[in-house]
Every structure is written in C-alpha cells, then in structure tokens.
Amino acid sequence: MAELPEIKRLARQMEEALRDKPIRRVEILQEKCTNVPPASWGERVRGASVQQVQNKGKWIVLALTGGESILLSLGMGADVFYHRTGEARPEKYQVRVELEDGSGFTARFWWFGSFLLVSRQELGEEPNTKNIAMDPLDARFTWEYFQSLAQGRRTQVKSFLLNQKLVGGIGNMYIHDILFLSRVHPQKKLCDLNEKEVEALYHSVRGQLEMSLNKGGFSREPDFYGEAGGYTEKDFLVGYRAGKPCPVCGEAVEQIKTGSTSSYLCPACQPLG
C-alpha cells in the first residue's frame, strides 16, 4: 500500500531515529518474513548500528556498520513503528529490532511483508531487489532518461508505470491521478502516445509523488512515529471516486478493471480511442 512518498518518509525517519545506536537484539516472530534463521539474526547484527537508510523502489535498505544490510518490504500494507526507551510497543508484530538504549522498532505486516538480512556480497545480487529500477524522485530521473525508457514500448501505460523493473516505487494508488493529470488512459499503448503526452506523463509522475511527499505522505499510512500524512482522500482527483464528477469537466468518473487491479479515470478527459 505504501508507495514512494510514504517509503521516502519512512526511510528518512528511520535514519534519523536509529542512526549510530547499537542493536541489542532482533526478534523474528514470523519466520516466513525472512530469509535467514531467526537465530542467526542475533549473531550477525548484534552490536552493529544503522548507518544509512535509503529506498530502492518500494524497498527500504538499512545499511549497518559491519557490512550487513536489512531489506524491508511493506508488501501489501504494514505498520512500522518506532518506540522510545521504555515506551509501550504495539501488541502485534512480526519482527522487532531493539537497540542497546531500549528504544527500537516493530513491523506489523498485514500481507506479504519481508524483512531480509544480506551481507555486503549478497546485496547486489539479492533477487527481490536487484532488478528494481530508479525511482521518479531520484535526481537522475530526467526527461531524457524517461523518454528513452518509454521509447518504443508496446505495453499499456499503466503496466509500464507499475513495472518495478522499469520505474521504481509507483503502486496502484497514486497511479490514477498521475494518469488523469496527463490526460492519458491507463490502457493506452505507450507507443501510441505522442511526445507531448509522454512529457505530460513525466511531469505528472514526478509532480504527484513529490507533492505527496511534501505533504508528508498519505494520511492513511501512519509514519514511523504513528503520525498521519497530510495527503488525504480529499486530494484525490479521480482516484477511488467512481461515479463522482470529474473535477475538470464534470463527467462521471469511471472505475474499470485493468488486469487484476482497478483503475479510475475520466472517460472524457482520458479517451482511449
């Protein structure tokens, strides 16, 4: 559920709250979430501390002193909460990291979360993350880069933007308004767009994600400290607004099936033909 704005927010907060504090222990209550036996977590990370927290697409990469990295995926929704020294922890969680000073964090996965431990050598080859593409909030995600990425692809625009091997970090929430703002139908083939449309797409992608990040991310996704973001349902233009009027032309917003997911669009502003 969390997409780039929420992931970026969480990475930043995790770095500021955890950096340089030695880890005392790691509790793995759900073995399926991880890639190594729970027992070896302790051996490998005890005494190490978080140096840097970055994102790779929707994954969060916590680089530790000593060369190990923690790879965190929120799957289809998760609460990742910091707790200060002595502060109560949530009752339910699958994994917990406790620091020497008694503070730490828990992760509660709603569905399909992952919490992996990889060595420096394994990091670049880790199958879940190695093929994830650059994200639109990266400074190197330029117009030229996007243009060559989109060049000649026959796939549908929505598939393209959600394909994590091509564009990192977009999920099925921000996509609706991104496409609406560029006036492109989700099922239009990329190779059928003219350059103006591709350019509009580029600016909508970056603009929407950056705007939400500036507002603190989606309000229904609490941050590391349990606070809601400032980007709310009221900000949605067509997303999840089936039957309501298009904010531009007043036409009723449509909800359609696109593969296994839903899409929301204005049939007048985003014609397919």
Sites of contact with DNA (CB under 7 A): 1, 3, 30, 32-33, 57-58, 73, 75-77, 109-114, 127-128, 131, 153-156, 159, 162, 164, 171-173, 189, 259-262
Asked if 73 and 110 count as a contact pair (C-beta separation under 8 A), the reply is: no
Tell me whether residue 207 or residue 240 sits nearer to DNA (CB atom): 240
142: its two tokens: 């330029």
Q: From the CB of 244, what's the least distance to DNA, in Å?
A: 16
Tell me whether residue 51 or residue 172 sits nearer to DNA (CB atom): 172
Tell me whether residue 164 or residue 182 sits nearer to DNA (CB atom): 164
Using the Cα atoms of residue 119, residue 125, residue 127 and residue 131 in order, give the sign of their dihedral. positive
Tell me whether residue 46 or residue 220 sits nearer to DNA (CB atom): 220
Q: From the CB of 20, what's the least distance to DNA, in Å?
A: 29
**DSSP tag of 233:** G
Q: From the CB of 143, what's the least distance to DNA, in Å?
A: 20
249: its two tokens: 């032309």
Q: How far apart are CA 92 and CA 115, in angstroms?
A: 16
Tell me whether residue 13 or residue 114 sits nearer to DNA (CB atom): 114
Q: From the CB of 215, what's the least distance to DNA, in Å?
A: 19
The residue written with tokens 């222990």 in the block is 25
**DSSP tag of 168:** -
- φ, ψ dihedrals at 175, nearest 5°: -55, -35
Distances in Å between the alpha carbon of 32 and those of 35, 72, 218? 8, 13, 28
Tell me whether residue 103 or residue 263 sits nearer to DNA (CB atom): 263
Tell me whether residue 94 or residue 103 sits nearer to DNA (CB atom): 94
Q: How far apart are CA 117 and CA 198, in angstroms?
A: 39
Q: From the CB of 187, what's the least distance to DNA, in Å?
A: 8
76: its two tokens: 């289809």
| Of the candidates 196, 191, 120, 201, the residue with the CA atom closest to the CA atom of residue 152 | 191
| Of the candidates 95, 97, 98, 127, the residue with the CA atom closest to the CA atom of residue 113 | 95
Q: From the CB of 107, what's the least distance to DNA, in Å?
A: 11
Q: From the CB of 102, what's the least distance to DNA, in Å?
A: 28
Q: Can you name the residues that pair with 256 across neighbouring β-strands?
A: 263
Q: How many CB atoms lie within 10 A of CB 92?
A: 9
